[in-house]
Structure 1
Amino acid sequence: MSSFRPFGLTAWLAAPMAAALLMPVSLSPARAQAVAVAPTAPRAANPAPAPQTMPAATSQQESPDQRGLTARAIDKVKQVAKSAGDIFSRVPCLPPKGGAKPMGSLPHVASKLVAGKPVVIVAFGSSSTAGFGASSPDFNYPNRLAGQLRRQYPTADITVVNAGVGGEDAPEMMKRLQKEVIDVHPDLVIWQVGTNAVLRNLDPTDTAKLVEEGITRIQAVGDADIVLVDPQYSPRVTERPESASKMVKLLGHVAELRHVGIFPRFEVMRDWHEKQAIPVESFVISDGLHMNDWGYACFAQLLGDDIIRSVGQIKLGVNVPADVRTYRPM
């Protein structure tokens, strides 16, 4: 299979982006770093017509050089806008081969969606929750998930809060658990954790203990559903196989012990590469760690499918225990 590097921007950004391409832009160091590692856009095969708001490239006031620059800017906008709309057309987002077991119901958030009540989801984690590696904030996984759920439930009031901070792991996250998770009174907490602990050679047992403590605190003050997300399958993580394997197993054990859900991201991403024959560079950016637009989009899609499945179970009067795993080949 040929390598594919997804990229995208929303179509409504077309006009301001074209203008931005015509003038110098000053970037903050953090933004500059994100831009530096973002995948470059492939050329669209059949670009859509230019937006009506774009200046005409044939204006009599423009020189030939200006017309060429404007045309290239418009073409660039059309390329990335088209790429954003068909991110799964070249590499589809498929569940792991061999079948998928239901994750178990998320009764609180599902019941609220069934009843048409407002739903608050907190995505808690580090840089892969914040969206490092995505070409735009629109394409981080919390925003992708929010879009999927709003399309599925168009009349629902759904809020997805992105509480991801790059570089953090359980010790730092515990310091902001009260303010950024518990005090928000969420219906669902998606807690992505463990990757930075592996990279820092921290003891996975210590991480698991902190995560269990955090889950206990969340459960003590409300009835929010909780889903843990374990580390990503990527070169920087898999070069530490013993630590990564132990972290994955311990987080699974914590989920079972505390009766919460788990999305086994490590195994899902390994399936992409080993069973679906997708090159790693098709879902991980050049730093060998963070996901790209396609990786975030497929992760969000599969996670959203689990939530939608849980709503269907509640409608049918089925309540599957939360400690039944999804995509658990281990």
Structure 2
Amino acid sequence: MSSFRPFGLTAWLAAPMAAALLMPVTLSPACAQAVAVAPTAPQAASPAPGPQTTTPATSQQESPEQRGLTARAIDKVKQVAKSAGDIFSRVPCLPPKDAHKGGAKSMGSLPHVASKLVAGKPVVIVAFGSSSTAGFGASSPDFNYPNRLAAQLHRQYPTADITVINAGVGGEDAPEMMKRLQKEVIDVHPDLVIWQVGTNAVLRNLDPGDTAKLVEDGITRIQAVGDADIVLVDPQYSPRVTERPESAGKMVKLLGRVAELRHVGIFPRFEVMRDWHEKQDIPVESFVISDGLHMNDWGYACFAQLLGDDIIRSVGQIKLGVNVPANVRTYRPM
């Protein structure tokens, strides 16, 4: 099992000054994303937002050890903010172009995880899937999407106890994932499950209907033992997938139908990535590595940002008192 907990969210933010430094109210959606620093990131640095780079005065009552913790926390914040800007310094991560032109449905709700974040309760997120969850193609583990998502939420909610578990295993699809669903998802008692599935079934010429049935069965099992929010992630738009248009199209359609029937979220990765290429004029090689299948650092980062933005908006709905019914969960990050 390749599960890991990439961020102990209370560890490096234990110093009291760090929380004040990271107040999210000044962050715009364009700079809300964050990552753990990867020394291999090639892009030039972008200036970090002011509130995240300002060093607060140290209290006279702090011991040398406390001052050391505070300084390390501040350094970490600066590094994370710098890395967040680096990855999008050449090509920004934008939502699909039709998002505000009536072509996209407004998102529904992730009521369970949002309510826990609002209440300040610990949150566990399981990223369940195959190689694009494990992070194949990323220059380092810091740049896979679960780590990027964890860092973004970490910056947005600096005092929250959030754990993101990467349960991605390369080469798997629904049949193999179902064998580890109990141990790696259900037994963890997650608040949110992000289930990326379907790509390997397309590449193996498996029946999309069989995959959809297994995924629906898996959702039923998760829902039977708890009230975790669930988001399905459909296949990526990449040359290896699009060369099988009939199978890929059926898979995307059926996973969307399962999400609608089971009242869970659907992140339409295929359509989002197609928008990058066809409407935002981003070359495929700018977000897919040379194997024609897996995403690169930018692709994972933008995917994580859009997904994280949806979680943050859902929290905002709860804070504003928007009462979205729990059974209205299907949404699109647009």
User: TM-score, normalised on structure 1?
Assistant: 0.75
CA contact (8 A) 2:2 2:169 kept: no
Change in Cα spacing, 1:307 to 1:241, as seen in structure 2 (3 Å) is: same
Quote the residue 2:245 is aligned against. 241
SS of residue in 2 equivalent to 1:34 = coil
Cα separation, 2, equivalents of 1:148 and 1:282 = 22
Cα separation, 1, equivalents of 2:138 and 2:17 = 17
The number of residue pairs the alignment matches comes to: 330
Cα separation, 1, equivalents of 2:7 and 2:284 = 15
Identity fraction in percent: 94
Moved more, 34-43 or 78-87: 34-43
SS of residue in 2 equivalent to 1:51 = helix
Change in Cα spacing, 1:262 to 1:27, as seen in structure 2 (3 Å) is: closer
Change in Cα spacing, 1:43 to 1:73, as seen in structure 2 (3 Å) is: farther
Report the CA distance between 1:103 and its aligned residue. 2.6
Q: Residues 136-173 of structure 1: CA distance to partner in whole angstroms, max 9, x if unpaired?
A: 10010000000001111111000000000000000000
Find 1:205's aligned residue among 205, 209, 224: 209
Moved more, 10-19 or 38-47: 10-19
Cα separation, 2, equivalents of 1:200 and 1:293 = 26
Q: Residues 184-223 of structure 1: CA distance to partner in whole angstroms, max 9, x if unpaired?
A: 0000000000000000000000000000000000000000
Q: Residues 211-243 of structure 1: CA distance to partner in whole angstroms, max 9, x if unpaired?
A: 000000000000000000000000000000000
Change in Cα spacing, 1:243 to 1:10, as seen in structure 2 (3 Å) is: farther
Change in Cα spacing, 1:22 to 1:202, as seen in structure 2 (3 Å) is: same
Q: Residues 269-296 of structure 1: CA distance to partner in whole angstroms, max 9, x if unpaired?
A: 0000000000000000000000000000
Report the CA distance between 1:318 and its aligned residue. 1.9
CA contact (8 A) 1:230 1:264 kept: yes
CA contact (8 A) 2:29 2:309 kept: no
Quote the residue 1:268 is aligned against. 272
Change in Cα spacing, 1:142 to 1:79, as seen in structure 2 (3 Å) is: closer
Cα separation, 2, equivalents of 1:289 and 1:148 = 25
Cα separation, 2, equivalents of 1:52 and 1:100 = 33
Moved more, 305-314 or 29-38: 29-38
SS of residue in 1 equivalent to 2:170 = coil
CA contact (8 A) 1:125 1:163 kept: yes
Moved more, 99-108 or 10-19: 10-19
Report the CA distance between 1:314 and its aligned residue. 1.2
Question: Gaps spanning 5+ residues in structure 1: where?
Answer: none
Cα separation, 2, equivalents of 1:318 and 1:25 = 19
SS of residue in 2 equivalent to 1:25 = helix
SS of residue in 2 equivalent to 1:12 = coil
Quote the residue 2:26 is aligned against. 26
CA contact (8 A) 1:177 1:214 kept: yes
Change in Cα spacing, 1:89 to 1:213, as seen in structure 2 (3 Å) is: same
CA contact (8 A) 1:169 1:193 kept: yes
CA contact (8 A) 1:7 1:135 kept: no
